[in-house]
């Protein structure tokens, strides 16, 4: 006798917020392309249960200074342009197809070159004039320094609808005020904790910032270095959002390249670890595999470094989106 299986499709009462980055000339900016993320009404790539109107976007990382510690298998792709963040960004967009540029103000870090606000603003302007995709600007992680440089950064990018970050539970007032004044979006950072992620969003919205203008950064980890724990945090946040928690209903960003290329599995050469195979294959694969996992956890924006990882992740997104790819 045939068995009738129950309908196990899950429906959710809430959707993830949509966030659009970039502003065209008609909107007061200079971008030739805008990127929208979020909007899902089901778990990642569960097209049979709900909508996923916008595919995850790939941002490629650009620095305001030339990196000193990138391994050759990574550096060889950018060494010819990394003296100029504009040229670097242009290569990422035109040659590697980046959806967004993530400008990391590494040169402003007090333990690096300790560059000032005007130098940070100049780097932002240089990237904006070189490419037409939306811009993410990532600070130094030093609270005092970020509060010093971001006023100039936010003003330099006025009208461009950028994504600036990050704010934390202990340092949020300056950047929230700047993003409100100059009409940018903001990244809220939390240390692998759903409750703190929610609290940072509450602090921002208590200042009048719109929850629809927030992107959550739940912290990222490389494959083999706590990735499973971050996955569980992201999954819990996404489930809570779909169930109706408005303070967790924001798209999520994962800062992958910086984490992966700091671990030995990616940066060690085959001379150092011959049993692990060729670094030129292992490194990009480590980055791409980390990204695959975060896609399934609900990542909406992935910040990557290696062109091979970018190409592989893009192909995976296309396959996972299927007919849902716009």
159: left (phi over 0), alpha (psi -120 to 50) or beta: left
How far apart are alpha carbons 40 and 264 in whole angstroms? 35
List, in sequence order, every residue forming a beta bridge with 189; answer none if it has no partner. Answer: 217
The structure's pTM equals 0.96
Helix 227-243 / helix 194-206 crossing angle, nearest 10 deg: 50
Q: Where are the domains of the chain?
A: 18-320
How far apart are alpha carbons 314 and 326 in whole angstroms? 13
Please state whether beta strands 18-21 and 35-38 pair in parallel, antiparallel, or not at all (unpaired): antiparallel
CA nearest to 121, candidates 70, 182, 169? 182
3: left (phi over 0), alpha (psi -120 to 50) or beta: beta
C-alpha separations of 305 from 79, 102, 122, 300, 302 in Å: 13, 10, 22, 17, 10
* Helix/strand/coil for 83: coil
* Helix/strand/coil for 101: strand
Q: How many CB atoms lie within 10 A of CB 68?
A: 8
How far apart are alpha carbons 139 and 137 in whole angstroms? 7
Check: CB of residue 249 under 8 Å from CB of residue 197.
no
Q: What pLDDT is attached to residue 7?
A: 67
Q: What pLDDT is attached to residue 325?
A: 53
- Segment-wise mean pLDDT, segments of 10 residues, the chain, 326 residues: 71 97 98 98 96 98 97 97 98 98 98 97 98 98 98 98 98 98 98 97 98 97 96 98 98 98 95 91 97 98 98 98 69
Q: What pLDDT is attached to residue 9?
A: 86
How far apart are alpha carbons 164 and 161 in whole angstroms? 9
The architecture (CATH level 2) of 18-320 comes to: Alpha-Beta Barrel (3.20)
C-alpha separations of 227 from 81, 256, 296 in Å: 32, 11, 12
Report residue 218 as tokens.
Answer: 């739940």
Please state whether beta strands 35-38 and 57-63 pair in parallel, antiparallel, or not at all (unpaired): unpaired
């Amino acid at each position: 006798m045939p068995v009738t299986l129950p309908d196990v499709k899950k429906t959710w009462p809430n959707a993830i917020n949509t966030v659009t980055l970039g502003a065209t000339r008609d909107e007061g900016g200079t971008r030739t392309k805008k990127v929208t993320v979020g909007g899902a009404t089901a778990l990642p790539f569960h097209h049979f249960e709900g909508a996923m109107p916008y595919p995850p976007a790939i941002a490629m990382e650009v620095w305001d200074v030339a990196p000193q510690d990138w391994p050759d298998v990574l550096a060889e792709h950018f060494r010819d342009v990394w003296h100029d963040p504009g040229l670097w960004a242009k290569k990422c967009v035109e040659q590697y197809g980046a959806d967004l540029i993530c400008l990391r103000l590494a040169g402003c870090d007090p333990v690096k070159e300790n560059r000032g606000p005007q130098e940070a603003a100049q780097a932002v302007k240089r990237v904006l004039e070189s490419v037409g995709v939306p811009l993410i600007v990532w600070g130094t992680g030093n609270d005092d320094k970020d509060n010093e440089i971001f006023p100039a950064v936010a003003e330099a990018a006025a009208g461009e609808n950028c994504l600036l970050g990050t704010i934390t539970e202990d340092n949020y007032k300056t950047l929230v005020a700047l993003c409100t004044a100059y009409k940018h979006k903001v990244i809220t950072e939390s240390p692998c904790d759903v409750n703190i992620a929610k609290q940072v969003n509450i602090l921002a919205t208590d200042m009048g910032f719109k929850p629809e203008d927030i992107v959550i950064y739940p912290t990222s980890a490389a494959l083999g270095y706590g990735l499973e724990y971050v996955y569980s945090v992201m999954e819990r946040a996404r489930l809570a959002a779909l169930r109706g928690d408005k303070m967790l209903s924001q798209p999520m960003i994962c800062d992958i390249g910086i984490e992966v290329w700091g671990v030995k599995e990616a940066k060690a050469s085959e001379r150092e670890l011959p049993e692990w195979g060729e670094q030129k294959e292992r490194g990009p694969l480590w980055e791409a595999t980390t990204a695959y996992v975060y896609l399934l956890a609900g990542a909406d924006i992935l910040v990557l470094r290696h062109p091979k990882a970018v190409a592989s992740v893009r192909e995976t997104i296309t396959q996972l989106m299927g007919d849902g790819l716009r």
